[in-house]
Amino acid sequence: MTIIGPHVSIAKGFLHAAEDAASMGANTFQYFTRNPRGGAVKKLDHKDLEACRSFMEDHEFGPILAHAPYTLNMASSKPETRDFAFRAFSEDLERMEQIPCSLYNFHPGSHTGSGAETGIGWITEILNRTLVPEMTTTVLLETMAGKGTEIGRSFEELAEIIEKTELSEKLGVCMDTCHIFSAGYDIENHLEEVLDDFDRLIGLDRLKAIHLNDSKMPFGDHKDRHEKLGEGLIGPETIARFVTEPRLAAVPLFLETPNDNDGYAAEIRRVRLIRKEAGID
């Protein structure tokens, strides 16, 4: 069964978010754990969480995906920025254990001039301080487009973070189609080889989520600009090939395209139809 859903707001609660997603034909959703540009966080409403859990069970939802705020930068050369990242990350992981969700995605961060190796060192230091054996959440490193000093522009960089994390079994990867296209991975002409590289360096068993997005920017441009599915420079044929790739069939799909609810509903129908015609869904 295809697990697919959009990014939605939890401003009105988790149950409302799940109902909103279901109204679009989705059976999962992504949400920000807090304001994407700030650090504020709402107190959890446990009645709402239980109602959301029941709704998800009744509607056969897959795992939902929590997304860390963009301001969380573990790789920064500024101690105060890393301190905020540590505090926000720690708090988010504590809250995740109370939410009907098992996946938490974050951008590895930008080294802001100190170099990728130093930035990776800062990232793994925080991961080693926060990940604990008893946690049930899987933390996902997101593949990045490589703008400026972003870390995660290559599978090698993500593999190094995983290798240097003591509880690496708690880590997975979220692959963003727009980001890897912008980073220079040729999913248009060499999708199988790209997945082979990922499997060799990281392991496809660690691929726990996919951000399914088209791109406004050209291949290898290292800029993160999402477009609606089939309307960008990745294009409908490559998107169709990606969602029908057998090795990716069981991975949940999350839409971050610039859409309203009707647009998301149309994309969800389109992906389901493509998979059905390919004998996957």
Q: Which residues are catalytic?
A: 37, 67, 70, 107, 142, 176, 179, 211, 224, 226, 256
Give dist(CA 75, CA 152) in Å, integer.
11
The residue written with tokens 């610039």 in the block is 258
Give the closest residue to 26 by CA, choosing from 267, 241, 213. 267
The token duo for 45 is 């409403």
The token duo for 160 is 């190094």
The token duo for 162 is 């995983």
Count CB atoms within 10 A of the CB of residue 7.
Answer: 19
Give 52: exposed, middle or buried? Use CB within 10 Å, 0-12, 13-18, 19+: buried
Residue 130 near residue 85 (C-beta atoms within 8 A): no
Residue 276 near residue 29 (C-beta atoms within 8 A): no
Apex CA 33: angle with CA 77 and CA 75, to 5°? 15
210 membership: H or E segment, kind and range: strand 207-212
| Pairing relationship of beta strands 214-215 and 207-212 according to DSSP bridges | unpaired
Residues 6+ apart with CB under 8 A from 225: 178, 182, 215, 216, 217
Give dist(CA 256, CA 249) in Å, integer.
19
The token duo for 1 is 């069964």
